[in-house]
Chains A and B, each alone.
Chain A
Amino acid sequence: MTLLWIPLLTLLGVLVPALTARRGRGFCTLATVTLPAMALLLTLSQVPALLDGELPRVALSWIPSLGLDLAFRMDGLSLMFATLILGIGLLIILYAHFYLSAGEPYGRFYAYLVLFMLSMLGIVMADNLLLLWIFWELTSLSSFLLIGYWSHWTDARKGARMAMTVTGAGGLALLAGFLLLGDMVGSFDLGVVLSSADVILADPRYPVMLVLVLLGAFTKSAQFPFHFWLPHAMAAPTPVSAYLHSATMVKAGIFLMARLHPALGDSELWGWLVTLTGMTTFLYGAWFALLKTDLKAILAFSTVSHLGLVTALLGIGSPMAILAALFHILNHATFKGALFMSAGIIDHETGARELGKLGGLRRAMPITALLTTITAASMAGVPLLNGFLSKEMFFTETLDTALLGGLGWLLPVLATLGGILSVAYSLRLVHGVFFKPAKEVPPKSPHEPPRLMRAPVELLATLCVAVGLFPAALATGILDLATRAVLREPLDFHLAIWHGVNLPLVMSLAALAAGITAYGLHSNIRHFARQFAPIDARLVFEGTIQSLVARTQTLTHRLENGSLQRYMSLLLGTALLLATLGLVELPELAGDKPTQPLDAMLVLGSALMIFAALGTAITHRYRLISLLMLSVVGLVVSLTFARFSAPDLALTQLSVEVVTMILLMLALFFLPQKTPQESSASRIIRDLVLAGTLGMVVASLNYAVLTREIDSIAGFFIANSVPGGGGHNVVNVILVDFRGFDTLGEITVLALAGLAIFKLLNRLRLFMPHSDGEGRVWSPDRYPMILTTVSQALLPLALLVAAFIFLRGHNMPGGGFIAGLVTAVALILVYMARGVEWTQNRLDFPYQPVAIGGVAVATLTGLGSWLFGRPFLTSAFGHFHIPLVGDIELATAMLFDLGVYLAVVGATLMILANLGKLTTPHRPTKEAPAVSRKETPAPPSEEAPLILDTEKSQRPSKEKA
């Protein structure tokens, strides 16, 4: 379990800076450092176990159905990287303490930094491919936050976005690759994957998978042609650059290749892809590092170049090449981390980063000059420093590999060329900043940084020298563990400075000499390079992204142009196509079941329905008539339900029909009563053909389904309704018990829809027609006496009926939904007869709490079953004897049904009453000008329609006149 604490402590460490930021900067830095430092100690405490040949591992099941485990391992490779991540991370925090200026939100910065540290730790320690991928994406996210830390600066935002897009896209490719890999091996467990190299290499999907995985690694490690994000990520604060681009983020891709090398690396394809990409990147980065003038840009391109070097070594893939790769990772982290921090110091103390503005700084900051010279020399590969050792190993490996066959001599030549370039740019960096006479005075007078700010650089530079002098003593231990993890067997090697006079040494010396010469000819080189038009990667990238956006928008506009007709035709056309394809496959339309005999009622009913449906379509331009036709269809449908023994459905359909009609009538008020003919003839034909064919296809489909025996789940519900749900009404038991969770979701949606409509209607000002289609103003008589009287008399009756329907629901046709609709309709009738104002004075409560309360009652009923140790929404029922009433059956489902009832009543009234209210409040009246809104210019004689009118006045126009 110790292993689990390493990421866990770091995770907790994310919160620390946020909590302690108020206590002052020093305290915050100290507190932030504590937890990662403990994690580092824990990591190092694993060393004895590793030396004994054990593999510390911890695994907790997370989502077993996906193969995702919370599994961590600590082998030599993880140990090496974890030490780098935590060790350099701590130095960076210390450095950032001095680097950030006082006003900046350092708490946030530390939190992002530790978050990034956590995600990197997750990558190197994950023992499950999916877990590794999750942390991989987390690095993309947290690096986005870090690179864009100075979010007020457009370059930072653009750089962050670019890094996020490139590495995120690579991450998706990686996920696809991992899924393929997991499918080949049958497990996402890293141990299993690493030991199944035979299976993986033999699989026909190997090339696809390899390319996908490498895409992920190359984008992350800024390999050509995905390198362009890295220089732009330099918009980040320097501590971030030092951390992300020396030791961590860009090394994640390298780590991944090293990690999966045992499983994927033993193939020609791997060798070609990885080595050539690496070599290209190596040269490309080195060339541009030589041309850039910004300190951080030089370092960024040199990072790209060195990443290419390591990648090329991993591609060569011999045991010694792996060793060299790992060694160079360590060395690069030390010298590049130090160089980035030095660049930050120079920037911080002089205010300039351009080579043209700097120069002669060795007098002002001698110690920094010394440190930078040492680390830059290490980068160039000067003997007696650590960079020399690994670079020489690289030269050796390029000589030894048989990769390119007859062209094998090309690799060492290219490697030497890269070496020459790296000597030249290192020299240029040091000479240009510290030794060359200054051309202009820097913005700030330069001086040495605070002692502690320099401390991390000093430590890293010392390491460079120490490892360079005593490689065997200092680096052998950790490299042995790490190579053992990659090669899966111990490698016999010893690191030494002197191997005698051999070809690699000659190559090194030649590179040094040629590099110095190249720097001497630097102005010529720059002059030569100026002939080529510079390509700004940012412009290219933004251009690509923008054209992509424009193209997708064009596509979206074509599909989604705001025309309802278009959506419907697309939707129906697709449905038509699919249904037709299915129907064509049927051998014959009719199944085995005999059809029912036809009687007069059926014929009459269907004729009526067809007539009304046709009428609805034909008269659609006369909205009121069309609506009446539609209501006929609805009524016949509910009669059909009643005829075919579905009384519940019939009742529901009837009440829904009534509510819908009222709703449509209300909406109709705002629309013109007639619509002009808008569709062209060709369009009408298209619509007719589409609708007609779809109707025929759906009818055939129904016929085919109804004439066949279908093995449905209905039998289960009928058999279990009484024993399982305690009710004889199967429909109701399904609604409130078997599928109670669905119902809960539905009433939640209903209540939400009601709330949304309430919110949308609030303060909505619609056009109010003041007269009907023929220009007659609305009737002055509001509330017909007969209707008023009858509605009041009917209200208690209707409520009684609703209560009756509700109570019998569990055993007989009925239930909360129907009862709710009946109640709503009864109340709406009162609204219509007496007006909103009269009614609301008497129903003095808002409907929103009713709907929400309904959902709450249903949810609480469901939660209640937890109290009895049952799953959510388990229902209980029993028989009780009540005096006078007799035996009665009560079920908790009834309580749930009460929730349904309340939700339906609340939501329906919320919609209808508010829509009705909309027709009245802002309307100016003649007799009460104070009530009228001044900004509403309306004809003076405007009147509300008959229904839903709040104005209590009986507009006596004669009086006024």
Chain B
Amino acid sequence: MNIPTWLDALIAAMLLIGAIVATLGSLGLARMPDFYMRLHGPTKASTLGVGCTMLGSLLYFSTSGEGIRVQEVLITVFLFVTAPVSAHVMAWAALHRRVHCSANTRHPPWPEMDRAPVTEHAASSAPAGDKESAD
């Protein structure tokens, strides 16, 4: 194991950043006030956090004598491809369901969007409104 110190430091930094971002993402998932904000946490954690960790791993194993490793690259690529898709579909579903958002959320997609928790009245009025507009 003859990894130069600077590289060692770089790898350590990568792992550390990855870990911090993952922790922050998890915290965000747990603590953010509404769904739309909570969605930000895991997306950052799965892209930036896992990405940094993978990069660290890639550097470490590629320089420790077994040649260039591609597994990490592949994992990262697949993660980068799939994470946005799932986040996008989730956000989209939330918008469709008109999941309520907190007062602090900026730029609501439509002005009448509920800012209070969904009530029975609000839920049952949705199809009626839709039917009206359809007819």
Interface residues of A (CB under 8 A from B): 771-772, 774-777, 779, 781, 784, 786-787, 790, 793-794, 926, 939-941, 946, 957-958, 960-961
Which listed segment binds A: B35-43, B65-73, B123-131? B123-131
Q: A958-B133, A961-B135 are in contact. List 18 more A-B contacts (CB 8 A).
A: A772-B97, A775-B126, A775-B127, A776-B96, A776-B123, A776-B126, A777-B126, A779-B92, A781-B96, A784-B88, A786-B84, A787-B88, A790-B82, A790-B85, A793-B81, A941-B131, A957-B133, A961-B134
List, in ascending order, chain A residues with CB within 8 A of B84's CB.
Answer: 786
List, in ascending order, chain B residues with CB within 8 A of A790's CB.
Answer: 81-82, 85
Please state if A926 and B134 are interface contacts (CB–CB under 8 Å).
yes
In angstroms, Cα B109 to Cα A781, docked, is 15
In angstroms, Cα B127 to Cα A941, docked, is 9
List, in ascending order, chain A residues with CB within 8 A of B98's CB.
Answer: 776
List, in ascending order, chain A residues with CB within 8 A of B126's CB.
Answer: 774-777
Query: B70-104 CB contact bits vs A (8 Å, 1 = yes)?
Result: 00000000000110110011001100111000000
Given A775-B126, A776-B96, A787-B89 contact (CB < 8 Å): yes
Given A775-B123, A779-B96, A940-B81 contact (CB < 8 Å): no
Residue ID in chain A nearest B82 by CB atoms: A790
Please state if A794 and B81 are interface contacts (CB–CB under 8 Å).
yes
Majority secondary structure, A binding face: loop
List, in ascending order, chain B residues with CB within 8 A of A940's CB.
Answer: 131, 134-135
Select B127's contact among A771, A793, A961, beta carbons within 8 Å: A771
Please state if B88 and A786 are interface contacts (CB–CB under 8 Å).
yes
Please state if B97 and A939 are interface contacts (CB–CB under 8 Å).
no
Please state if A960 and B127 are interface contacts (CB–CB under 8 Å).
no
List, in ascending order, chain B residues with CB within 8 A of A772's CB.
Answer: 97
In angstroms, Cα B88 to Cα A781, docked, is 13
Please state if B127 and A776 are interface contacts (CB–CB under 8 Å).
yes
Please state if B92 and A784 are interface contacts (CB–CB under 8 Å).
yes
Select B130's contact among A786, A787, A941, A946, beta carbons within 8 Å: A941
In angstroms, Cα B128 to Cα A774, docked, is 12
B113 to chain A, nearest CB (A): 14
List, in ascending order, chain B residues with CB within 8 A of A946's CB.
Answer: 89, 93
List, in ascending order, chain A residues with CB within 8 A of B85's CB.
Answer: 784, 786-787, 790
In angstroms, Cα B89 to Cα A940, docked, is 26
In angstroms, Cα B128 to Cα A776, docked, is 9
List, in ascending order, chain B residues with CB within 8 A of A784's CB.
Answer: 85, 88-89, 92
Listed residue (B124, B127, B131) with the most chain A CB atoms within 10 angstroms of its CB: B127
In angstroms, Cα B92 to Cα A784, docked, is 9
In angstroms, Cα B93 to Cα A784, docked, is 11
List, in ascending order, chain A residues with CB within 8 A of B89's CB.
Answer: 784, 787, 946
List, in ascending order, chain A residues with CB within 8 A of B135's CB.
Answer: 940, 961
Closest CB pairs A-B (n = 10)? A774-B123, A779-B96, A941-B134, A775-B127, A776-B126, A786-B88, A786-B85, A790-B85, A787-B85, A777-B130
In angstroms, Cα B13 to Cα A725, docked, is 50
In angstroms, Cα B90 to Cα A787, docked, is 12
In angstroms, Cα B88 to Cα A926, docked, is 28
B75 to chain A, nearest CB (A): 14
A-B contact count (CB 8 A): 59
A923 to chain B, nearest CB (A): 15
B interface bracket (residues with beta carbon within 8 Å of A): 20 to 34
A274 to chain B, nearest CB (A): 85
Given A774-B123, A775-B124, A960-B134 contact (CB < 8 Å): yes
Listed residue (A926, A941, A946) with the most chain B CB atoms within 10 angstroms of its CB: A941
Residue ID in chain B nearest A780 by CB atoms: B96
Residue ID in chain A nearest B127 by CB atoms: A775
List, in ascending order, chain B residues with CB within 8 A of A939's CB.
Answer: 131
18 A-B pairs with C-beta separation under 8 A = A771-B127, A774-B123, A774-B126, A775-B123, A776-B97, A777-B126, A784-B88, A784-B92, A786-B84, A787-B85, A787-B89, A790-B82, A793-B81, A941-B131, A941-B134, A946-B93, A958-B133, A961-B135
In angstroms, Cα B130 to Cα A960, docked, is 13
B121 to chain A, nearest CB (A): 11
Residue ID in chain A nearest B97 by CB atoms: A776
In angstroms, Cα B126 to Cα A184, docked, is 83
Please state if B134 and A957 are interface contacts (CB–CB under 8 Å).
yes
List, in ascending order, chain B residues with CB within 8 A of A781's CB.
Answer: 92, 96
A766 to chain B, nearest CB (A): 21
List, in ascending order, chain A residues with CB within 8 A of B82's CB.
Answer: 790
List, in ascending order, chain B residues with CB within 8 A of A957's CB.
Answer: 130, 133-134
B5 to chain A, nearest CB (A): 30
In angstroms, Cα B120 to Cα A682, docked, is 33
In angstroms, Cα B39 to Cα A648, docked, is 35
In angstroms, Cα B89 to Cα A784, docked, is 8
Which chain B residues (13-41) contact chain A, with CB distance < 8 Å? none
List, in ascending order, chain B residues with CB within 8 A of A787's CB.
Answer: 85, 88-89
In angstroms, Cα B133 to Cα A960, docked, is 9
Residue ID in chain B nearest A775 by CB atoms: B127
In angstroms, Cα B96 to Cα A776, docked, is 9
List, in ascending order, chain A residues with CB within 8 A of B127's CB.
Answer: 771, 775-777, 941
List, in ascending order, chain B residues with CB within 8 A of A774's CB.
Answer: 97, 123-124, 126
In angstroms, Cα B18 to Cα A656, docked, is 32
In angstroms, Cα B114 to Cα A776, docked, is 15
A613 to chain B, nearest CB (A): 24
B24 to chain A, nearest CB (A): 22
Residue ID in chain A nearest B125 by CB atoms: A775
B84 to chain A, nearest CB (A): 6
List, in ascending order, chain A residues with CB within 8 A of B133's CB.
Answer: 957-958, 961
In angstroms, Cα B98 to Cα A794, docked, is 31
List, in ascending order, chain A residues with CB within 8 A of B131's CB.
Answer: 939-941
Residue ID in chain B nearest A778 by CB atoms: B96
In angstroms, Cα B131 to Cα A779, docked, is 13
In angstroms, Cα B131 to Cα A786, docked, is 29
B132 to chain A, nearest CB (A): 9
In angstroms, Cα B92 to Cα A781, docked, is 9
In angstroms, Cα B122 to Cα A776, docked, is 10
A647 to chain B, nearest CB (A): 15
In angstroms, Cα B97 to Cα A786, docked, is 20
List, in ascending order, chain B residues with CB within 8 A of A775's CB.
Answer: 123-124, 126-127
Listed residue (A786, A946, A960) with the most chain B CB atoms within 10 angstroms of its CB: A786
List, in ascending order, chain B residues with CB within 8 A of A771's CB.
Answer: 127
In angstroms, Cα B21 to Cα A32, docked, is 95
Residue ID in chain A nearest B134 by CB atoms: A941
B18 to chain A, nearest CB (A): 19
B46 to chain A, nearest CB (A): 15
List, in ascending order, chain B residues with CB within 8 A of A776's CB.
Answer: 96-98, 123, 126-127, 130
A775 to chain B, nearest CB (A): 5
A439 to chain B, nearest CB (A): 87
A525 to chain B, nearest CB (A): 89
Residue ID in chain A nearest B131 by CB atoms: A941
List, in ascending order, chain B residues with CB within 8 A of A793's CB.
Answer: 81
In angstroms, Cα B82 to Cα A772, docked, is 26
In angstroms, Cα B89 to Cα A790, docked, is 13
Residue ID in chain B nearest A939 by CB atoms: B131
B66 to chain A, nearest CB (A): 19
In angstroms, Cα B78 to Cα A790, docked, is 10
In angstroms, Cα B126 to Cα A347, docked, is 85
In angstroms, Cα B101 to Cα A26, docked, is 96
A205 to chain B, nearest CB (A): 72
Residue ID in chain B nearest A940 by CB atoms: B134
Residue ID in chain B nearest A960 by CB atoms: B134
List, in ascending order, chain B residues with CB within 8 A of A779's CB.
Answer: 92-93, 96
B129 to chain A, nearest CB (A): 10
Residue ID in chain A nearest B87 by CB atoms: A786
In angstroms, Cα B85 to Cα A940, docked, is 31
